[in-house]
A and B are shown apart, each in its own frame.
Chain A
């Protein structure tokens, strides 16, 4: 069967006004036993009939993971953990790369509205909150952490940055040619499994004028996947198998050595 000759793909006329386009070198990261992190390159282009100054912001957001954080307190001369605080709504991985510092690209309220930048991550500690009436105002959300809330939040970000799971890169988006840019996404070994939402935003004059979304999937593959599923779906059988392996190898070693 002969496929009818398709007309050459029409060059799509750029939409009126500026727009941004982007692609990933690898949208599917396979976590196998050789996995030691991954680097994904995102490249894209800014289409603009006029040459207005453009800024590009790339935001990568991994799957949400509740974060449990404790503070070290000194009790009777010993450093012990306080009761842990659970933060929800925080991603397991977050990266904000931009062509200039975010604060120079757009105003605080614009960034907050877009959730762009680590300072604008909507994470909170619902278990610490209660709703009460204050000064006659009903339904006021009060956090038990009180004024320390910001300190706890900053600690979450600091510890995640130390683990290479959160990153802010003020010149992570580089224009390599007129309108052509690239950014690198570094996933550490500890990057969580799941879907990563990548958003590419074009800013002009402090306003987001065009947005593109891409998805990265990080999944366990091969033997890693099989073992992980086995451990989680048939946990008791998995435990018994691991003990059988242990006892058999111990017994084998002693038999082999006795023969010598």
Chain B
């Protein structure tokens, strides 16, 4: 059934959107990520204008993260205090990001920055994840012991002022690194239409040294706050949230997320990480490809100046 979207002003197949939402929701529940990095490019390929895709996707990510965060919170796997600090940074980042995106659009450079961000961040993180997890899967197969984790805590993390206790993460660190991390992820979520889980999760493990158990739940909690805010800001400043599009996506998304969360216990953590790394890497390369291919038509319409 084709349906005309009131804000995007294009006609799309409603069934396809619900199905896509479900598939991306499943992946999101499986890996404990928002899934925006998958959905936004798909929406762009379907012909949804980039501004609307990015803004409506923030809304969809908020829904699927809310769907899975509750089960993490029941298992006491959410560090609300750390999530709150990250989200405070995320709020500032989202404010900045929405304005940056507005400015880039006026310059006609929004597409370029979106493609470049995907290529750099997804390519880098996907590649690192893949290498790291394939390495550990291979080591396990050969029966080798995992390499000793360097537990020497970095001086810069502990030497900074404004220290706060995070009991659930068993940390006593300065709030400055998490706030900066939050700002960075907030900007990305406004520009790329993603929650930023794929950056937050590794950053929490490797930079903030949080225990693996609380990382995914805390990241989802912070993503809900950042994407909700980004969504309200995009609607208020750019009038670019398509509520029909977002609702169709989240119909499938919230259900898919629940099934994904259940399926996740059947896989090994390293295998899941390898698979996610592969998906992230492919997505990044696919989005970045447009920068290297000689365009069919040297001219491009860059949308109305709305």
Contact = CB atoms under 8 A, between A and B. Distances in A.
B162 interface: no
Which of A33, A66, A225 neighbours the largest number of chain B CB atoms within 10 Å of its CB? A33
A77 B292 contact: yes
Contacts of B63: 245-247, 249-250
Interface stretch (A134-142, A197-205, A228-236): A228-236
Nearest to B255: A253
Interface stretch (A93-101, A105-113, A151-159): A151-159
A246 B301 contact: no
A54 to B, nearest CB: 38
B225 to A, nearest CB: 10
A68 B244 contact: no
Nearest to B231: A243
Interface in B168-221: none
Interface residues of B, number: 61
Contacts of A209: none
Interface string A220-258: 100111011001100110111111011101111111011
B236 A235 contact: yes
A26 B231 CA distance: 39
B7 A228 contact: yes
Nearest to A256: B258
Contact of A155 (B6, B70, B297): B297
A218 to B, nearest CB: 11
Given A35-B11, A239-B231, A247-B224, A227 B305 contact: no
Contacts of B140: none
B108 interface: yes
Nearest to B9: A190
Interface in B119-167: none
Given A34-B3, A243-B231, A70 B302 contact: yes
A103 interface: no
Contacts of A35: 4, 11
Nearest to A165: B301
A236 B7 contact: no
B299 A246 contact: no
B300 A159 contact: yes
Interface string B285-303: 0000011111101111111
Contacts of A220: 6
A254 B300 contact: no
B292 A239 contact: no
A252 B257 CA distance: 12
A235 B235 contact: yes
A158 B303 CA distance: 15
Given A239-B235, A243-B228, A245-B243, A81 B6 contact: no
A39 interface: no
Interface in A206-222: 220
A28 interface: no
A247 B4 contact: no
B108 A242 contact: no
A67 interface: yes
Given A69-B302, A251-B70, A238 B2 contact: no
A152 B301 CA distance: 11
Interface string A75-87: 0011111111010
A36 interface: yes
Nearest to A230: B243
Contacts of B293: 79
Interface in A155-170: 155-156, 158-160, 163
Given A236-B235, A247-B66, A68 B305 contact: yes
A33 B3 contact: yes
Given A33-B244, A189-B4, A246-B250, 20 more contacts: A37-B11, A80-B112, A83-B108, A84-B107, A84-B302, A158-B297, A159-B299, A224-B6, A231-B6, A235-B236, A235-B237, A239-B235, A242-B231, A242-B241, A242-B246, A243-B59, A246-B62, A246-B231, A249-B67, A255-B70
16 contacts: A68-B302, A71-B299, A79-B293, A155-B299, A158-B297, A189-B4, A189-B11, A231-B235, A239-B232, A242-B231, A242-B241, A250-B257, A251-B67, A252-B254, A254-B67, A258-B71
